Structures are given as structure tokens and as C-alpha cells.
Amino acid sequence: MKPRRLPALVAILLLSIPSAPGSSLTPATLTLITVTEEPNSRVIRLKADLGNARSSLEEEAARSPARVVALGSQASLAVNRWLGGCPAIFGFILTPSRLPKPADDSVCFSLTLDPEVRIEALSRLFGAPARFTVLAGPDGAVEAAALAAAGARRHMVIHVIPIRQASEIATALRSIDKNTQALILTTESLFLKEDLVEAILLTTLSRGVPVIGFSEMLVRRGGLASLDINYSDYAAELARE
């Protein structure tokens, strides 16, 4: 059987929060991880100071025609606009190339934990009526409820799936509504486990559903840069199906 082609190139772009005076946080860094659509794809890990982000992205774009999604703090807005007005969605995105493109730069927001602002960004990005699924870990239940309430006020359909332990992830992923437009994560401790990252990425590649995470802890710790995962393994696995 001829291997099927994977969704267009997957890209993850992570920006940490700039350090405040006296803060123990590390300076803002940019990490780009891409996966090509070939079965023997290579993984590109690119780290650069925020000031060099544009030149680094230009060099990478010249080597491979990626549709990169930029996200993070207000400092990333210039990079967002240069990349075609992609929205900044407060944390990180794991996504194939099916994320809607806004009509202008107005969807770009600075990093915030305000559920009303997050839902506003999502509603303007996906339009109405919108359908989202929220995977809520024990430490993200309150956040998920706030997002659902904010979404209801904008006539969104938000299905919250509670997750008590990492072993429930597979079942939760199988129960995602086929019409959902994006998968939203509201959890800290569970998502830091590599097996959860892998399961979510595999679902993203196979179903083409954008995965959007709101995680203050992950952003403050520099995103997923510390997790050593070979995403090409999953590209190859999908190609063999």
C-alpha cells in the first residue's frame, strides 16, 4: 500500500516570557521545531535570541517552505506579522497547517491568563459558531470552567473532558467530537509528561485538529524546549498506515 501523504509541514514555535527586573526567569528565547511530510523526515531544532528571530526564521524559510505559527508574548507580534498575520495564542500551539488565517493583525494579543480575552481571540480566529474541546487536568478544571463560561456568552460550543490521570489521555482523545475545530489544553502537571505530548501530537497529525495550550507554567519554563521528542517517529508511523 502506498504511504499516504501527511498534512503539510508541522511547526511549533515557542516563546518564553521576557524576564522582569529581579526575576529568576530566563530571557526570552525562540525555539522552532519542524517536521517535514516525508516518512524519513528530519527534526529541525532552532534556538535564537528574540532579537535574531526574524533573520533565523528567514534562513529557515529559505530552506523549507513551512507555514510557521508564531505565538507567545507581546514581543512576538512583529514576528507574527512578518509570518503573515498568524495569531498569538498565549502559550504554544501544536498544529498542522489548517489553522485559520485572520484577515488582519487584530487577532494578535499579548500573553494573558484572562479567559475572556482568550475566548475573544479564538472567536475572532475561528469565527462563529465555533466548537472546541477542552482537555482539563486536575489543576486546570477551574480554568476550563472559566473558558467554557466565556465561550457560552459568545454562543460557542465548548465540550470539557476532565482528565484525572495521564492514563485517561488516550480515551479522552478518542472521545473528541469529530466536528471540533480545536483542542484546548488546560493542565500543567499532566501535560509535562512526554507520553501525553506524544499522544496529542499524534492526534494532531492524524486528524488535522489544531491543539492550543494555555499553560502559564510551561511558558515560564520555556515551553516544550526541554522535552526531547523525535517527532519524525510519528510522521513515519502515520506514513505506514
Q: Please, which residues have CB within 8 angstroms of residue 119's CB and are 6 or more apart in sequence?
A: 147, 150, 151, 154, 156
Sign of CA dihedral 62, 63, 68, 73: negative
Residue 64 lies in a domain: yes
Residue 197 lies in a domain: yes
Range with the poorest average pLDDT among 1-10, 106-115, 132-141: 1-10
Give 35-92 pLDDT, tens digit per residue.
Answer: 333 333 222 222 333 334 444 444 544 444 333 333 333 333 333 333 333 333 333 3
pLDDT at res. 211: 66
pLDDT at res. 141: 83
User: Is 140's pLDDT higher than 50?
Assistant: yes
Residue 2 lies in a domain: no
The cell for 4 is 499516504
The CATH number of whichever domain residue 115 belongs to comes to 3.40.50.2300
Residue 33 lies in a domain: yes
Residue 4 lies in a domain: no
Residue 235 lies in a domain: yes
Which range of 3-12, 127-136, 148-157 scores highest in mean pLDDT? It is: 148-157
Task: State which residues form the domain around 49.
Answer: 10-239
Instruction: Give the chain's domain count.
Output: 1
Instruction: Give residue 149's pLDDT band: very low, low, confident or very high (50, 70, 90).
Output: very high
Cα separation values, 200 from 84, 94, 115, 196, 219, Å:
26, 8, 22, 6, 18
Q: To which H or E segment does residue 146 belong?
A: helix 141-152
Q: Is the pTM of this model over 0.75?
A: no
